[in-house]
Amino acid sequence: MPSSSRRVPVEERLFSLVLALLATEQGLTKAEILSTVTGYAARYDVAADRANLERQFERDKEELRELGVPLETVDAPGADGDTKLQRYRIPPSRYQLPDDIVFSPEEYAMLTLAAQVWREGSLSTDSRRALTKLQSLGVRIDDAVIGFAPSIRTRDAAHEPLTAAIDRGQQVTFPYLKPGQAAAEHRTVSPLALVFHEGRWHLHAFDDGVDARRTFLLRRIVGPVVLAGAPATVRPSADEPARVLDELAALWRSTVATVRVRPGSEAEVVMRNRPGTEEAARGLQVHATDLDILADELAAFGADVQVVEPAALRDAVRARWHKVVQTHG
């Protein structure tokens, strides 16, 4: 089972336990749970630690029940009260939303978007191994609930190795392509936090090459992220993600562009509905954290958009159009 020694947050352990107990019809024994479920399995092979694991499992059971999760205990035939043979399960029919809860169309749309994020490859490596072992034990797994797991798979290939590096406190190296450059730069950094801002993942890290903190956009990491084999020179503080998000939000508020859009066009719909957009005498004032990314978005609208200011953004959009002409004629 998982060889990783990372500390599993209690929320992830409880979620994994709920997932496992929902995915089986006949239930799981305590041994099957402790040897397969993320949060227990990594410590199960250490015999001296199993007593602590069993006590932790008992506390987790009570916490789930206090949260209203219908966790059932089923005695083995002819072995009433034998905790080693007892099976645990959560009947899906009892773990549904009440009939009086109704969602609006907008809420359904948001739930659908969230489900899409979680569904694709949502199972973590630990969860996949756990399911494989459960199936090898003859446990029937309900595929209907396997699309949900306490791990989000992103489209950025760099996300998973960077998460591992933060957990392990290790340096990493990767090629990073800055806007306007033809060749990627080789960076060696100590990762501190991964944050999601404006629909994109960002890495905040201590750049050991320049001896300063930097924030990198994951989409600009153009090659593999490799563990450098050296410990991180700086470790993250407890409030690191919140602080980085505050800094990005401040940058977003201070970075303003003015654009004109063709009435009734897709550009008008998109620009008017961007968070923070305001009507001004010279056009729409829109906020952005990264002007190069905004330039990519604006260039895609073609003649339906005109950049008023800043000049750097206007030049960036024009440069993208020139590149299209040079490439395609």
The string of DSSP letters for 306-322 reads: EEEE-HHHHHHHHHHHH
Residues making up the chain, counted from first to last: 329
Q: Judge contact between 207 and 187, C-beta under 8 A.
A: yes
Please indicate, yes or no, whether the overall pTM of this predicted structure exceeds 0.85. Answer: no
Q: Residue 165 above 60 pLDDT?
A: yes
In this structure, how many other beta carbons lie within 10 angstroms of the beta carbon of residue 5? 9
Predicted confidence at residue 114, as pLDDT, reads: 62
Mean pLDDT of 205-229: 93
Query: pLDDT band at residue 2, thresholds of 50, 70 and 90?
Result: very low
pLDDT top residue among 240 and 154? 240
What is the per-residue pLDDT for 147? Answer: 42
Mean pLDDT lowest among 75-89, 156-170, 308-322: 75-89
| Residue % of the chain over a pLDDT of 90 | 40
Say whether pLDDT at 315 is over 90.
Answer: yes
Query: pLDDT tens across 239-279, in order?
Result: 888 999 999 999 999 999 999 999 999 899 889 888 899 99
Nearest to 282 by CA among 254, 304, 311, 261: 261
Percent of the chain at pLDDT above 70? 81
Q: Where are the beta strands (DSSP E) in the chain?
A: 28-29, 72-74, 87-89, 170-176, 185-197, 200-207, 212-217, 226-231, 256-261, 278-280, 283-287, 305-309
Helix (H, G, I), strand (E, B) or coil at 79: strand
- Amino acid 321: pLDDT: 93
Average pLDDT over residues 64-69: 83
Q: How confident is the model at residue 286 (pLDDT cuts 50, 70, 90)?
A: very high
**Each residue's pLDDT tens digit, 49-66:** 788 888 899 999 888 888
pLDDT at 45 over 80: no
Q: Does pLDDT of 212 surpass 80?
A: yes
* Structural domains of the chain, with CATH: 10-145 (no CATH), 159-241 (2.30.30), 255-328 (no CATH)
Output the DSSP codes for 30-75.
Answer: HHHHHHHSTTTHHHHT-GGGHHHHHHHHHHHHHHHHHTT---EEEP
What pLDDT is recorded for position 256?
Answer: 96
Residue 137 scores a pLDDT above 80: no
Omega prior to 310 cis, within 30 of 0: yes
With vertex at residue 32, the alpha carbon angle to CA 26 and CA 37, rounded to the nearest 5 degrees, is 105
User: 181 near 172, Cβ under 8 Å?
Assistant: no
Q: Answer yes or no: are the C-beta atoms of 267 and 301 closer than 8 Å.
A: yes
**DSSP state for residue 145 in the 8-state scheme:** G
Q: What distance in Å separates the CA atoms of residue 241 and residue 235, rounded to the nearest whole number?
A: 12
